[in-house]
Structure 1
């Protein structure tokens, strides 16, 4: 019954102090609210956390394997992302030609509407674009 669940929750909270409550029903349709509540709690109470894991109660999570994985950080961000992808076994694919531009283009509304990224603009130029 509900009384046994309440006693179990009170015991959990008194032993570990790890229960968080808000004013909504814990249903599938409220899962987004539940996740946002958790993210808000983490940002407030764990600002220096290296990472946070959210998992359902029916998920196997191998924390020992998750936290044994370490890569040396390097200051070249794009190279580091590539190293991380390699370590995770994620392959690289070529992007569609011309949709990611690493060089500056003169702005044209029609042309830019079909591009994903164009590089090398000043902040005021980006606001105009």
Structure 2
């Protein structure tokens, strides 16, 4: 089974050059390892880029809104910049039954520094190298978005909340919304979809989003 998957990955890579494969067990508790390997790869291979985006697999991404509003229409190129849905009141969960359990031995503090939800966030490319560097001084924890926030604290970088005030709207929607073209046209991400749902939504959205 796994050899077949590997063959499919290599075929995809040869045809489209869109696969980066790294040597670690890809599971929930290793997301921090994955994120730091991504940061290191970006810092090494993508120095000419302006921004990068981390996004989960179950996320709808409105590429048009992202590029036109946050990047093209967002003024001069930013540095030390990271934006998404900022969580500023996070606390470690001590319940051993919780998926997000953190023991006091692993994380003794009572609160988290501000961090962006791991569902999806955008950052200036210079931060990849800085976060990779800061990770040398931060003890790993399995919550990758919180861990990035801990690295940002070392760097003295505060994440920026992407939202509009009139009307109040979170551009990085970390809850699922029923699909409606013009609602999705005013978001960067919406969360919680199966692959088939994403294919259906994206096909319709590409055809109709300009009518909003």
* TM-score, normalised with respect to structure 1: 0.53
Judging changes above 3 Å, is the alpha-carbon distance between structure 1 residues 67 and 11 closer, same or farther for their aligned structure 2 residues?
Answer: same
| 1:2 and 2:5 matched | no
CA distance in 1, matches of 2:19, 2:36: 15
Aligned to 1:72: 75
SS in 2 for 1:52: strand
Compute the displacement of 1:64 (Å).
1.3
Q: Which of 1 and 2 has higher RCO (CA within 8 Å, sep 6+)? A: 2
CA distance in 2, matches of 1:72, 1:35: 28
Compute the displacement of 1:15 (Å).
1.2
Give the total of aligned pairs: 80
- Which stretch has the larger CA shift, 19-28 or 40-49? 19-28
**Residue segments in structure 2 that go unaligned for 5+ positions in a row:** 77-159, 167-212
CA distance in 2, matches of 1:36, 1:90: 33
CA distance in 1, matches of 2:42, 2:18: 12
Compute the displacement of 1:45 (Å).
0.8
2:164 to 89, 99, 102: 89
CA-atom RMSD, angstroms? 2.4
Deviations 1:77-119 (A, max 9, x none): xxxxxxx97x83259xxxxxxxxxxxxxxxxxxxxxxxxxxxx
Query: 1:9-24 to 2 correspondence within 5 Å?
Result: 9-24=9-24
Query: 1:37-48 to 2 correspondence within 5 Å?
Result: 37-48=37-48
CA distance in 2, matches of 1:72, 1:58: 30
Runs of 4+ off more than 6 Å: none
* TM-score, normalised with respect to structure 2: 0.34
CA distance in 2, matches of 1:38, 1:17: 16
Which has the larger strand fraction? 2
Judging changes above 3 Å, is the alpha-carbon distance between structure 1 residues 7 and 23 closer, same or farther for their aligned structure 2 residues?
Answer: closer
**Residue segments in structure 1 that go unaligned for 5+ positions in a row:** 74-83, 92-129
Which has the larger helix fraction? 1
Deviations 1:47-78 (A, max 9, x none): 121110011111111111100111334xxxxx
Greater C-alpha Rg: 1
